[in-house]
């Protein structure tokens, strides 16, 4: 709480809702998976938003697992792969990883099994080209750039800056690696949901404000 400090936080639940829609639409089994890293409220926020989007787009089940309850859970790709295999055995054919380095193992296991993964934070589509449906982007680049430009232009405001879809703080990734996986129908559905969230027609539940998930 200082006049020269801007705290940047993100509405990860909004971006996760979008990739949840894509996961359900891409799924053959209508069962999709979520693998978190360390079991903390922030990661449950990702998971809850994802469940909301997946259920809205017709998923019948979202299998959720956390990797652990210590910081080691962020960097255990072997365990991530094992959890992914377990979820695939339970019928999940699209798996979203919000698990740091552990997610690399999740995406690898999904690709090896002929299933689809979903990346997180940065564009991870290229880690397993053609096997990563999309990535939920956290636009730290935009947030930092805007802070610098506000400083340069004399419009810098301190305090908490909470960036969602409306502010360009979260999004989903499209590139050469996943263009053949995302149908026009999927793109239309996710863009409609994005517009509805920005307009306030859809409100995605924020686990951090109320630690329950109503979906």
Q: How far apart are CA 200 and CA 191, in angstroms?
A: 14
Return the pLDDT at 160.
96
Q: What residues have CB less than 8 Å from 142, skipping those under 6 apart?
A: 163, 168, 169
Per-run averaged pLDDT (10 residues), the chain, 215 residues: 96 98 98 98 97 98 98 98 98 98 98 98 98 98 96 97 96 98 98 98 95 93
Return the pLDDT at 71.
97
Return the pLDDT at 15.
98
């Amino acid at each position: 709480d200082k006049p020269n400090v801007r705290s940047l936080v993100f509405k990860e639940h909004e971006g996760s809702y979008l990739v949840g829609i894509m996961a359900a639409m891409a799924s053959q089994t209508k069962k999709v998976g979520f693998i978190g890293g360390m079991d903390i409220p922030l990661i449950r926020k990702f998971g809850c938003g994802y469940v909301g989007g997946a259920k809205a787009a017709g998923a019948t089940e979202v299998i959720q697992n956390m990797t652990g309850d210590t910081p080691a859970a962020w960097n255990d790709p072997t365990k991530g792969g094992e959890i992914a295999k377990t979820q695939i055995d339970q019928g999940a054919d699209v798996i979203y990883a919000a698990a740091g380095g552990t997610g690399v193992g999740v995406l690898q296991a999904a690709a090896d099994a002929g299933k689809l993964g979903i990346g997180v934070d940065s564009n991870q589509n290229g880690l397993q080209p053609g096997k990563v449906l999309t990535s939920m982007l956290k636009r730290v680049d935009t947030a930092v750039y805007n802070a610098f430009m506000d400083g340069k232009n004399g419009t810098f405001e301190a305090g908490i800056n909470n960036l969602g879809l409306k502010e360009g703080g979260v999004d989903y990734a499209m590139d050469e690696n996943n263009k053949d996986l995302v149908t026009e129908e999927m793109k239309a559905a996710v863009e409609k949901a994005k517009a509805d969230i920005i307009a306030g027609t859809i409100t995605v539940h924020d686990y951090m404000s109320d630690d329950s998930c109503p979906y």
